[in-house]
Amino acid sequence: MENEIICLDTSILIDFYRKKVKEKSHFFQLTKIYKIFAVSVVTEYEIMIGADPIQSAYWAGFFERVTILPFDKTANDVAIAVTKILKERNKLIEIPDIFIGATAVSRKMKIATLNKKHFERIPGLTIIS
């Protein structure tokens, strides 16, 4: 577990930012078990488009300290397959969530999220709590 890289979903980051007592955040609890974290470039996008100038400065500093995973051809292929499966099952979720999940699946990474209801629909994705 020590060298395992965990992909953080947007919900984990928002929870951490909003908590006045950071020790009560899910992310803080994860740091007791895992040491290496990454985010999808889609998570960076979601955070930054909703951030005001003060928040943008905070998040820019955060994103400098974690690996940002690109949404590449392999992740895109996974996202296409996942979208088709979810459409067939009539269980489609938001496209950014599919892209974030596909990024983790394509790299065989576990994902930390507070949005388990959506992410558990993605085949092959391991969610940690």
Q: Which residue range forms the structural domain that includes residue 58?
A: 5-128
- Predicted TM-score (pTM) of this structure: 0.94
- Per-residue pLDDT at 100 exceeds 70: yes
Query: How many domains does the chain fold into?
Result: 1
Name the 3-class secondary structure at 6.
strand
Q: What is the pLDDT of residues 18-57, one digit of tens each?
A: 999 999 999 999 999 999 999 999 999 999 999 999 999 9
The pLDDT value recorded for residue 1 is 56
Q: Contact, 92 vs 54, CB < 8 A?
A: no
Q: In this structure, what CATH number is given to the domain that contains residue 41? A: 3.40.50.1010
* Per-position DSSP letters for 33-74, written without gaps between them: T--EEEEEHHHHHHHHHT--HHHHHHHHHHHHSSEEE---HH
